[in-house]
Structure 1
Amino acid sequence: MTKWAVELVEHDIGYQPRKAIKAQALADFLAEGASLSLTELSPQHEERLPKEPWVLFVDGASSKEGSGAGLLLISPTGEELTYALRLDFPASNNEAEYEALLTGLRIAHQMGITAIQVRSDSQLVVLQVLGEYEAKDEVMKKYLAKVREAVALFETFEIERVPRSQNKRADALSKLASSSFAHLSKEVLVEVLKQKSINQV
């Protein structure tokens, strides 16, 4: 997978970082195969980690130009990690939504996060994960199975559907990643996913 950080016009996505984690630290985190722990980013995180959940906002987008996903991961103390995922394969909106969720959970787990609250505006994905909707399509079944595997790695997991108005930043990142990298910031990491998560071991 190709990973890099790119330039950004901040007002395009209303990006107003509070305690933004440095882009270089995040770039190193990805370059090292996501082996960077939270304690390497901030020593105080270790004792906080099990106590309060991190919040993960996810969104996926599909267009004629391509598909992408946006992630916003917020620590209990307000530090933010923004992340854009370019899907280098044809994907529907629902598939892009699942890719966003799976990537967010993967990153969170690799950072050592044990408690997470997910926020998504996708009714289908949220209700399938909650078991209120049945996944009938074979592809959706495979994605749901992958999510359940990922969820099992956390001590605490919650997922909630939120209005799109509360998911604007992840939505903007997903749309930008699906079309062009030109407007993404140095605070945003971009990853190109070559194949579907359900096809990976």
Structure 2
Amino acid sequence: MSTIFTRQQLIAIATRKEYAQSRQLAKQKRLPIEQCLSLLLEQSAKHGGLQDISQLAEQRSEAKNADNARKQAQRAEKQEQRKNQLHRQSSMQKNANTWLAWFDGSALPNPGKCQIACVLTSPEGHSFEYVQNFEYGDSCDAEYSGLLFALLQAQHHDVQHLIVHGDSQVVIDDFNQHKASKLARMLEYRQQAQLLAARFEQLQVRWVPRHKNQTADALTQMAISLKLDCKSL
């Protein structure tokens, strides 16, 4: 004997698409929506090699539970990664040899001529500012080039412990591979940055909002105005 489901139970079993189709069918045939839902769910059960709606409901419930468990595990993993990241950040901030860097890149127009800049601050508080122009690219080219520029300048100072800040969420996420791009040029930039990063004992690249990246941003704007050519200040 087949199980009789209430309207609410059928709605809970159905997918959004099945529910929408049942409403449309009920309107066309002038039938109760639960009757149309039962018909569609029976068809879905047969297509899935199941005997009836009860088996379909059980299968979907198990799939939903598995999906919820997967999402919970992912959240737990992210929390653990965040915890470890905060621990590493705290360790680096306490390191007396840690340098700080800020970078920025700009294209005017976009795409157009690009200006990049970085600011390095030593553990003793000494600041070093650098700007550079290159011929053509878009804002993403400029920002990623700004990151590479900062890493190169830090290596010229024999820096081994470095925390880099930038206001390009796209570039920061790509470098840290939180949201790695599949574009060929982004992959090339990322590989270059990773090669440079491997030369540091400790390196972190962090996103900051633009208002906290004012010095590097001001340097790129000055490079636009003065059209500086590969010149460090």
Residue 189 of structure 1 pairs with residue 232 of structure 2: yes
Q: Larger % of strand: which?
A: 1
**Residue type of the partner of 2:118?**
L
Residue 58 of structure 1 pairs with residue 103 of structure 2: yes
Question: Map of 1:40-119 to 2, 5 A cutoff?
Answer: 51-64=96-109, 66-87=113-134, 89-119=135-165
Match of 1:180 among 202, 226, 230: 226
Deviations along 1:47-78, whole A, 9 cap, x unmatched? xxx84210000000000362101111001111
Q: Is the 8 A contact 2:161 2:201 kept in 1?
A: yes
SS class of match (1:189):
coil
Deviations along 1:145-177, whole A, 9 cap, x unmatched? 000000000000001100100001101111222
SS class of match (1:55):
strand
**Residue type of the partner of 1:58?**
F
Which structure would you say has the larger RCO, counting Cα contacts within 8 Å and 6 or more residues apart?
A: 1
**Residue type of the partner of 1:82?**
E
SS class of match (2:137):
coil
Larger Rg: 2
Q: Give the aligned length.
A: 136
- Alpha-carbon offset, residue 135 of structure 1: 1.6
SS class of match (2:182):
coil
| Cα distance in structure 2, aligned partners of 1:166 and 1:111 | 24
**Residue type of the partner of 2:232?**
L
| Cα distance in structure 1, aligned partners of 2:221 and 2:190 | 23
Q: Is the 8 A contact 1:53 1:115 kept in 2?
A: yes
**Residue type of the partner of 1:109?**
Q
| Cα distance in structure 1, aligned partners of 2:138 and 2:178 | 21
**Residue type of the partner of 1:84?**
V
Structure 1 partner of 2:192: 146
Q: Is the 8 A contact 2:117 2:149 kept in 1?
A: no
**Structure 2 residues not aligned, in runs of 5+:** 1-94
Q: Is the 8 A contact 1:135 1:144 kept in 2?
A: no
Match of 1:128 among 174, 177, 186: 174
TM-score when scaled to structure 2? 0.55
SS class of match (1:134):
coil
| Cα distance in structure 2, aligned partners of 1:122 and 1:96 | 10
Match of 2:214 among 154, 168, 176: 168
Structure 2 partner of 1:198: none
Q: Is the 8 A contact 2:96 2:123 kept in 1?
A: no
Deviations along 1:82-134, whole A, 9 cap, x unmatched? 111111x2111111111111111111112211010000000001011111012
Q: Larger % of helix: which?
A: 2
Structure 1 partner of 2:202: 156
| Cα distance in structure 2, aligned partners of 1:122 and 1:179 | 22
Q: Is the 8 A contact 1:68 1:96 kept in 2?
A: yes
